[in-house]
Amino acid sequence: MARYRGRHRRPTDTARRLTRIALAGSVAGAPLLAVLVPGTASAASDKTWDRLAECEASGDWSANTRNGYYGGLQFSSSTWRAFDGDEFASRADLASRAEQIIVAERVLEGQGWNAWPTCSRKVGARSEGSTPRDTPPPPTESLPAAPAPLPPAAPKPAPAPVLPLDPDQWPGLPIPDLLPINSLPLSASPR
């Protein structure tokens, strides 16, 4: 039968020692854990990816060996899609080296070096972690230059002032037929 320990009972010396040892072990063991957990160590270099591609596909980044694995790092179609490789190309062998490395870094982050079990051991890559890389900009095509913007339109001139026309004031002046005479204001006294 288990011995009852009161809630407010003072901890024994043994319990304090065990707590200190456990705390010290967790602090001291944390760096070791970082080495053993995949994807948490230092970054994988381009040289490492090139060595891995040399082992996986004889360094051919556009390899299609017709065995269900594609590209320099021999991605399966499902892995390529699962790690968003289809944002670059439908299969790894159709993507560039840089794009394959971007997807490989994602795979490494998610699965560790176990995604390439044999070759990662052969090339000594297991001590390296992932380096998240930025997606390269899409290739620029030579597009015709955009036309230069048009200069701002000149301001419209202000309309000429309209003066009342008194036919009695200006004898002999032709009055246009467009305006009826009775619509024009007439001055009371001619000048």
**What is the residue-averaged pLDDT of the chain?**
74
Closest Cα to residue 52, out of 111, 105, 89? 105
Going from N- to C-terminal start, the domains of the chain cover 46-127
Residue type at position 135: T
pLDDT in tens, 12-68: 666 666 566 655 555 445 444 444 444 444 468 889 999 999 999 999 999 998 999
Looking at this protein, which amino acid is placed at residue 61? W
Cα–Cα dist 157/13, whole Å: 99
Q: How far is residue 147 CA from its own chain's centroid?
A: 29
What is the Cα gyration radius of the chain?
42
Are 106 and 142 spatial neighbours (Cβ–Cβ below 8 Å)? Answer: no
Please state the pTM of the whole predicted model: 0.48
**89 three-class SS:** coil
**Taken in order 26, 32, 37, 40, is the CA torsion positive or negative?**
positive
Its CATH architecture, for the domain 46-127, is: Orthogonal Bundle (1.10)
pLDDT digits (tens, 9 = 90+) for 98-120: 999 999 999 999 999 999 999 99
Q: Which CA distances in Å does 51 have to 45, 55, 88, 120, 122?
A: 10, 6, 23, 9, 9
Residue 128: which of 38, 188, 52, 53 has the closest Cα?
Answer: 38
